[in-house]
Chain A
């Protein structure tokens, strides 16, 4: 019987090795799998390459993973926000690498990784510093920038509802990069607010088909990053 559910966040993140490439869902705190990230902090894997739209806020979640020195390189589109401080400190001190990618290019590179497309051409970033040293090719008389796929060893994502087959449904704008990351990782690890019986999710409403998911842990009441920050909390 296929049953991808596991009993705890610690069990879910087991086997993430030093040096792994880890995609982490979320747009800011929305959709961020904070319990899985905290379990990864407890687990201690280091020299990670982390892929997320941002670089975390305050001293919890992704920011705490970075602040704990576990991330060697960050691939993201927007490493700056009103509550980000740990990444900027490490970046200015030269202790973390940054690969800055336009947001749509980041999404499409991840999608391509999951879809088996090694590269594609995009008009985004043409004529800017982010296109320097990249291959340019003309199609229908217009130049485009070649961008390679992005793949990962692991993806950590949060969803609203899952079944044991791995079918996922998200909530509102918490979907963002997560369905793409589920496709692009060798091992996709999901924290779900609810786990339901197969068949309870209408097949027409499945957003991530179960084939893209490997491990699911139920986290019924996930922490909310902005509330933790407002309370001055930090992890660990």
Chain B
């Protein structure tokens, strides 16, 4: 795989956040229209494999999103869905929200990369609310993205900060969508969601299948 240049120091075992993003970028076909979620998914744009061109869609009304601007040259009316300053590439276009979600819901976006709180063995995704009392529920565009984009990639740490599996038999948090996730990129492994359940695609450096199985809350087959 392509190692990030000037990236974080390599972690001893498994993949770093940037390496997870680079690994996901490898699986996006040339010429794809791509929507990137907030957080680690945003980093995918830094690791486009040589010879490929992706066109980035941001649901607040821009196709042809470029990298962040140099400090001091931000345009306050040019932002991404995470409300951060961005730029445009030559050939970019602006549109209103109904057109933007027609691109999403109408099946015109090829790949969407999202973060996750939980992913189930059948590809259910929970990434908008813990359902905890007092939490402010906020869904944004996630439910439209998972419903409308054919290929949904998830990038996530394999377990929570307290060591609980994030890949589970059934999600306990409120769902974003049912049976929507195609492939999961974690710090430990790349895993496919198949009709027969979870299947290992690749192990991170220094990671064993036994370790991944131990930290996964659902059965994992050795290969797809």
A and B found bound together: yes
Q: A80-102 toward B: CB 8 Å interface, digit per residue (1/0)?
A: 11000001100110000010111
Contact pattern, B 136-156, Cβ under 8 Å of A = 1, otherwise 0: 111111111001100000000
Within 8 Å by CB of A79, from B60, B77, B136, lies: B136
Q: What would 13 A/B residue contacts be, using CB atoms closer than 8 Å?
A: A27-B61, A27-B83, A78-B139, A88-B136, A102-B143, A104-B141, A107-B101, A123-B148, A128-B143, A172-B75, A175-B94, A176-B96, A207-B96
Cα distance A116–B25 when bound, in Å?
Answer: 42
B121 to chain A, nearest CB (A): 16
A100 contact set on B, CB distance < 8 A: 137-139
- The answer to the question of A28 belonging to the interface, with a C-beta cut-off of 8 Å to chain B, is yes
Q: A173 is contacted by which of B94, B142, B178 (Cβ under 8 Å)?
A: B94
Q: Check A175 against B96 for contact (C-beta < 8 Å).
A: yes
Listed in ascending order, the chain B residues whose CB lies under 8 Å from chain A are: 58-62, 75-79, 83, 94-98, 100-101, 104-105, 124, 134, 136-144, 147-148, 174-178
Shortest beta-carbon distance from A182 to chain B in Å: 10
Which residues does chain A contribute within 8 Å of B96, judged by CB atoms? 107, 175-180, 207
Is A224's beta carbon under 8 Å from chain B? yes
Whether A79 pairs with B138 at a CB distance below 8 angstroms is yes
Q: Which residues in A have their C-beta under 8 angstroms from that of B177?
A: 126-128
The reply on A43 being an interface residue by CB < 8 A is no
Please, which residues of chain B bring their CB within 8 A of the CB of A91? 136
Asked whether B77 lies within 8 Å of A174 as measured between CB atoms, the reply is yes
- Interface positions of A from 43 to 85, Cβ below 8 Å from B: 77-81
Q: Please state if A102 and B141 are interface contacts (CB–CB under 8 Å).
A: yes
Distance (whole angstroms) from the CB of A13 to the closest CB of chain B = 23
Nearest B residue (CB) for A131:
B143
Nearest A residue to B175 via CB reads A128
Q: Are B144 and A172 in contact (CB under 8 A)?
A: no
5 closest Cβ contacts across the A-B interface? A104-B101, A104-B144, A127-B178, A107-B97, A123-B147
| In the complex, residue of chain B having the shortest beta-carbon distance to the beta carbon of A87 | B136
Tell whether A129 is near chain B: CB-to-CB under 8 Å.
Answer: yes
Complex formed: what's the CA distance from A28 to B148 in Å?
Answer: 24
Q: How far is the CA of A29 from the CA of B104 in the complex (A)?
A: 23
| Shortest distance from the beta carbon of A146 to any chain B beta carbon, whole Å | 14
* Distance of B44 from chain A, by nearest CB (Å): 20
Minimal beta-carbon separation of A139 from chain B (angstroms): 13
Instruction: Check if A8 is an interface residue, CB within 8 A of chain B.
Output: no
Which of A88, A122, A173 neighbours the largest number of chain B CB atoms within 10 Å of its CB?
A173
| Given known A80-B138, A122-B105, A176-B60, contact A111–B144 (CB-CB < 8 A) | no
Complex Cα gap A188–B67 (Å): 35
B143 adjacent to A130 (CB under 8 Å): yes
Contact A180 B98 (CB under 8 A): yes
Contacts of A92 in B (CB 8 A): 134
User: Within 8 Å of chain B (Cβ to Cβ): is A10?
Assistant: no
Cα-based distance from A31 to B60 in the complex (angstroms): 11
**A94–B91 alpha-carbon span in the complex (Å):** 47
List A contacts of B75 (CB < 8 A).
172
Residues of chain B within 8 A (CB-CB) of A111 are: 98
Please, how many angstroms separate the alpha-carbon atoms of A178 and B100 in the complex? 13
Q: How far is the CB of A10 from chain B (nearest CB, A)?
A: 25
Which residues of A have CB within 8 Å of B104?
104
CB neighbours of B76 from chain A (8 A): 29-30, 224, 226
Report the minimal beta-carbon distance from A183 to chain B, rounded to whole angstroms: 10
- Candidates B140, B142, B175; contact of A127 at CB < 8 Å: B175
- Complexed CA–CA distance, A27 and B83 (Å): 8
Query: Which single residue of chain B is at the shortest CB-CB distance from A83?
Result: B83
- Taking a contact as CB atoms under 8 Å apart, the answer to whether A172 and B78 are in contact is yes
A172 touches B77 (CB 8 A): yes
A119-148 vs B, CB cutoff 8 Å, 1 = contact: the mask equals 000111111111000000000000000000
CA of A27 to CA of B61, assembled, Å: 10
**Contact for A177 among B83, B97, B147, B178, CB less than 8 A:** B97
